Amino acid sequence: MKAAAASDYRRIAQRRLPHFLFEYIDGGAYAEVTLRRNVADLEAIALRQRVLRDVSRLDLSTELFGQKLAFPVALAPIGLAGLTARRGEVQAARAAEAAGIPFTLSTVSACAIDEVARGTTRPFWFQLYMIRDRAFMRDLIAKAREARCSALVFTVDMPVPGTRYRDYRSGLAGAAGPLGKLRRLMQGMARPGWAWDVGIHGRPHHLGNVAPVLAGKSGIEDFLAWVGSNFDPGISWTDLDFVRSLWDGPIILKGILDPEDAREAARNGVDAIIVSNHGGRQLDGVLSTARALPPIADAVGDDLILLADGGVRSGLDVVRLLALGARTVLLGRAWVYALAGGGQAGVAHVLRLIEAEMRVAMSLTGATSVGEIDGSILVE
């Protein structure tokens, strides 16, 4: 199957990945209401088509934290993304670098910070959770500094992991012990392409950044147990002081959905926020990003840089979120599906598709630069 759109890679990924891994990437929390809202609410936003405007020259570039972006998109952090293709985060980071946009490495990536740094030539972003073990957090932030990461994405909407039914049904969660391992092994063997590329040639199989605290344990159940016991439900606004004491670069808070939380972020002096519901993977039933973004933009748009993610499947969706108030839009599942389906080349292809679709949307709404994409291009 030849992918003509980012959404096509989802079907390719489903055919290529072991069932438990695809369900982990694809699924959301509980009944997945918010997961569906993210996509549906974006699709429902109507654009104003304008004609007879000179759109012969389009400028998609923007600047963020002193870095010029070829177009206003970044790759969001995705846990376990590196298991979808051989040394997957390195491949994705290279695709982002070639496209001239930022890549964000997850705390729970398969490839460690230093491996991604060795595989790239430009700084990338690092995503951090609040973890009970503060010494481990210090080490992670120190490694991010050593790797010249240019921004710290501090994810604040995961004091506890969300309940994801699909992970239990697929055998990823709740299937500890030999029988669970056997079930996942059989699913992997049912995908020989993945088993050869990742299972055999993609070793070592461990979470690079957290491997030191797992003490040699590398099974899926070890990862899930570590996540359940080490994410910190006691996180509060005062913890920003701890993070800021260790990091002198831009701090981006990820997981803001409420205008009052956005105001509090501004009062606490962060550089930017990502309006996000964690891809519908945490609290089901909350607002979609498309619904949450406008009131947050009204509340703090002049005080903070606003980024957004959630439900983005096309360049049209990027333009819609920019029009709603985002400065830059993060791709999540779209790039991981492409990584699973085509490795670095797949991610590069999706980014070309997104950019091309943005150009069409801008041309037909009369916006010749990213700065001209605002609420005026939307149907009221």
Q: Locate tokens 């070639």: which residue?
A: 98
Q: Residue 334 and residue 380: Cα distance in Å, rounded?
A: 28
The dihedral built from the CA positions of residue 196, 199, 203 and 209, taken in this order, carries a sign that is: positive
- CA neighbor of 151 nearest in space, from 93, 96, 112, 102: 102
Q: Give backbone dihedrals phi and psi of 29, rounded to 5 degrees, phi first.
A: -90, 145
Tokens of 290: 């498309």
What number of other Cβ atoms are within 10 A of residue 351's Cβ? 26
> CA-CA-CA-CA torsion for 12, 71, 49, 363, nearest 10 degrees?
-100
Contacts of 210 (CB under 8 A, 6+ apart): 107, 108, 136, 223, 226
Q: Residue 220 and residue 110: Cα distance in Å, rounded?
A: 12
What letter does residue 222 receive in the DSSP assignment? H
Strand runs labelled E in 62-213? 62-64, 67-69, 73-75, 104-105, 125-129, 151-155
- CA neighbor of 256 nearest in space, from 316, 300, 312: 300
Biggest CA-to-CA distance, the chain: 66
Choosing from 19, 205, 278, 349, the catalytic residue is 278
201 is known as an active-site residue: no
Q: Residue 274 and residue 247: Cα distance in Å, rounded?
A: 18
What letter does residue 47 receive in the DSSP assignment? B
Q: Locate tokens 């001239």: which residue?
A: 100
Asked if residues 12 and 342 have their Cβ atoms less than 8 Å apart, the reply is yes
Tokens of 159: 């004091």
Q: Which residues are catalytic?
A: 278
